[in-house]
Amino acid sequence: MIGVDSEPVNHGWLCDRGRYGFGYIHSVERRSEPVVRRSSEGSAEFETVSWPDALDEVADRLGAIVSEHGGQSVGIIGGSNGTNEDAYVWSKFARTVLGTNNVDAQLDDGIPAQVIQGLPRAEISDLESSSAIILVAPDLKEELPVLYLRVRRAAEEKGVPLIEVAPYPTGLTPYAAVRVAPVPGHTGEVVERIVKASTSGPSAPGSHLSDDERRAAELLSTDGKVTVILGRPSLAEGSGIVVRAAAALSTIPQARFLSALRRSNVHGALEMGLSPDMLPGRVTLEAARDYYANAWALDGKPAKLSTTQGWSTGDMLRAAVDGRIKALVLLGSDPIGDFPDRELAERALDRVSFLVSVDGFDTASTSKADVVLPPMMQGEQDGTFTNLEGRILPLGAKVTGAGTSMEDWRIAGELAWRFGVDFGFMTASEIQDEIAAVAPAMAGIDSGAIASSPVGLLPRAFDDPPASPEAPEAIDADATEADAADADADVEAAESEGSEDASSMPTLHVWDGSTFVSGEVPAPDAYGLRLIVGRKLYTSSVRTIESPTIAALAAEPVLLVNPADRDKLGFQEGESVRVHTVTGSSNVGLRMLSDESMPRGLALIWHDPESGAATLLLDAGKPAQDIRIDRVEAMS
C-alpha cells in the first residue's frame, strides 16, 4: 500500500504497519460465512448457515430479549474499526429499533466521548505553526506513527517548542524542549500547576515548581496558538487523570486539541453516535433526543428514543455479570483480549444469554458467541472514515469481499428490516446523504461533496454557525470572518422571527471542563513498583499475526524496569517473573528486562493479549496501581 500525498494529513507518509499490514484480509483463518452455535450430542459447535438463517436467529433472539426485558438489557460494544457509514447505521439501529443507548466504540481505554467531542479542535497542519505543542498522551511512535512524524518535523525542522508530559521516555523525548515526568496518578495535578504558572508567572509566590515544570510554564506563556495532543499515557491510570489535565489546558485561550485515541476509526465511530451519551453529529443525547426522534421518524411517526442513560463498555460488562444485560453485540471487538480488565470481560461474556460477534476472525470473545457474522474488511467496501483531527476521508473498494461477507451497515439494516423497520439504504452514498441531512456537525458533507474532495472535509466546529437554520451547510475552512458574521446575522434574524427550524437544530456540544473523574492517588508502595501499561505498534493482534509480512515483528511481552530496581529486588536480567497488584495477578510469566532510561520506581508492561496485563487491571478506573513481583521458573 502507498500513502496519498496529502498536505493537510500525512505528506504521503505511512507507517510500516499501515504499508504492509494488509495480509490478514486474505488469511486462510478468516471467517467468510456466518455460523450459529448448535447443540448436538451434549456439545455445542459452530455450524455454517446461510445469511438469512443467521440474521433470522439474531433478530428472533434479540427481539425476544427486548420484549421481555426492555432495550436496556441489550448492549453494543465496538464499531471503531468500521466505516463511518457502518457506525451510523448501527447507532440508528440501537436507538430506534432496539431502544437502547448502551453503545460504546471505546473499551474503557480511551477518553470519554463528551470530552473528546467537546474540546476545540486543532488540525494536524497546525502543529508546524504553533507557538508550542504540549503532549499528554501515549508514545506516538508506537501508537500513531504518522502523527509522530508530523510532531517530530514541527519540533526538529520548524523549531516549535515541544513540551512532553510523560512518565517514561518516548520516541519524541529526543525532540522535546522539555520533558516533565509525573509519577503515574499525578499527571493531572502536574499539568494544572504548569498551566496556572504559565498565566501567573513561573516565579510567582507559591509556585512550587520543579525546574522542568517551570520551563514548561515559560514555553506555554505565549499569546500564540498552543496545540495539545491528548491521550492515555498508561492504561493503569484512570481516564479521569487525563481529563483533569484537559480541563486545565482548555483554559489556555488559544489551545486546540488533537486526540490520540486507539483504533483506526474511533473518531468516526464517536462522531456517528457509537457512545452512550452522544448522538451523530457531535450533539449530546440529552440535548438532541427530540430532534433525532423527528429526524429518524418511522412511517411518519417520531422514533421512540430511550430516555435511559446509556452505559459505557465497563458498565455494560458489569451489568452483564449482574444479570441486567442479557445480550451483547460485539462489532469487531474482542473485550476479553482488549478490555483492560480481562476477568470482568470473561465473566460478562459467560453470563449473557445471547452473544453476537460481527467479526471475521476467531478471538477469545468470538469463541463464546452464539452467532458470528463475518463483515467486509479494509479495502473491500466503499465509505468514509474520520481521522484524529475530525477530517472525513473517502474509502474505495479495491478487492472483492471474501466469501459472502457483508458490509457492517448492511448487516444492521437487514436486522432492522426483520424488526419491521426499513432504513432504505442500498449504498454507502445514500447513508452519507442522510448523515449530511440530519447530523448537525456534518451538514453539507454529502456523497457529492465527499466524492469531489480528495483531501477530505472538516465538519463544522462548535463555534461555526450553520449557514441556514433550515438546512445548515458545511463551513468552509477558508471562510472569511465577514462570511461568519453574515451567517451569525442570518441565524439571529431567524431566531428573532421565532423560527421553529432554527431552534430544532441542536447546538453542537461544548465541554466546559467542569466534570472529570478523580480519586485519591495511593502512596507509592515501598516494596513494589508503580505500574505503567502502554501499547506497542506490533502486538499479537489479528492484523499483525495474520499478515505474513509483519507477523515476525510482534513484540515479546516483557516487564521493563530500571537496572537499580531490578538489582534491589534481587532479580537477574531476563529472569521470568510474575506480577501482582492488589486486585489481580498476571496469568503469564514475563521476562524482566532493564533499561537505564526507565525512571526508578516504575515498571512498564505492554498491553497485549499475550502479556497478561489485562489480568492486572481489575479496577481500570483507579488513578494509579502498584505491583509486586515474584520469581517463577525460567521460561522455556
What was the pLDDT predicted at 466? 57
Q: First and final CA of the chain: distance in angstroms?
A: 38
pLDDT of residue 550: 82
143 vs 13: which has the higher pLDDT: 143
Beta-bridge partners for 275: 278
> Do both 225 and 293 map to the same domain?
no
In a domain, 579, yes or no: yes
Residues 190 and 147 in one domain: yes
Domain coverage including residue 179? 113-260
Q: Are residues 48 and 81 in the same domain?
A: yes
Check whether residue 355 and residue 308 sit in a common domain. yes
H or E segment and range at residue 346 = helix 342-351
CATH assignment at residue 50: 3.40.50.740
> In the chain, what percentage of residues exceed pLDDT 70?
88
Same domain flag for 411 and 295: yes
pLDDT confidence band for 510 (50 / 70 / 90) = very high
- Tell me the C-alpha to C-alpha distance, in Å, between residue 40 and each of 47, 483, 568, 571: 11, 69, 57, 51
User: In this structure, are 291 and 244 located in the same domain?
Assistant: no
- CATH for 129: 3.40.228.10
Q: Give the pLDDT of residue 505.
A: 80
Does some domain include residue 514?
no
In this structure, is the dihedral angle defined by the CA atoms of residues 128, 129, 131 and 137, taken in order, positive or negative?
negative
Residue 362 lies in a domain: yes
Residue 460 lies in a domain: no
Q: Which long-range contacts (CB under 8 A, 24 or more apart) does 23-27 make?
A: 23/546, 23/547, 23/548, 23/549, 23/550, 24/361, 24/377, 24/542, 24/543, 24/546, 24/547, 25/377, 25/378, 25/379, 25/380, 25/399, 25/402, 26/402, 27/361, 27/546, 27/547
The tens digit of pLDDT for each residue in 593-609 reads 999 999 999 999 887 76
Q: Considering the domain boundaries, does residue 583 fall inside one?
A: yes
Q: What is the pLDDT of residue 517?
A: 62
Classify residue 307: in a domain, yes or no: yes
Residues 426 and 299 in one domain: yes
Please give the pLDDT value at position 471.
37
Q: What is the mean pLDDT of residues 574-584?
A: 81
340 and 251 fall within a common domain: no
pLDDT of residue 504: 74
Mean pLDDT for all residues in the chain: 87
The DSSP-derived string for 459-480 is: PPPTTSPPS-SSS--PPPTT--
Q: How is residue 94 annotated by DSSP?
A: I
Q: Could you say which of 219, 237, 260 is where a domain stops? A: 260
Residue 207 has pLDDT above 70, yes or no: no
Decide if 415 contacts 58 (C-beta within 8 A). yes
Pair 224, 321 in one domain: no
pLDDT tier at 130, thresholds 50, 70, 90? very high
- Structurally, the chain folds into a number of domains equal to 3
Residue 574 belongs to some domain of the structure: yes
Gap between the Cα atoms of 377 and 26, Å rounded: 10
Q: Of 533, 532, 534, 591, give the one whose Cα is nearest residue 566.
A: 591
Query: 28 CB contacts (<8 Å, ≥6 apart)?
Result: none
Length, in residues, of the chain: 636
| pLDDT above 70 (res 375) | yes
Helix, strand, coil shares of the chain, percent, nearest 5, are: 35, 15, 50
Query: Which residues, in sequence order, are bridge partners of residue 48?
Result: 35
**Is position 48 within any domain?**
yes
Regarding pTM above 0.85, the answer is yes
Cell of 290: 427530540
Same domain flag for 236 and 276: no
Q: Which residue has the cell 499527571?
A: 187
CATH code of the domain covering residue 536 = 2.40.40.20
Q: Which of 435, 451, 467 marks a domain boundary?
A: 451
What integer is the mean pLDDT of 461-480? 46
Q: Are residues 361 and 250 in the same domain?
A: no
Q: What percent of the chain has pLDDT over 90?
A: 64
- Do residues 301 and 406 share a domain? yes
* Confidence (pLDDT) at 479: 38
Asked which of 260, 280, 311 is the last residue of a domain, the reply is 260
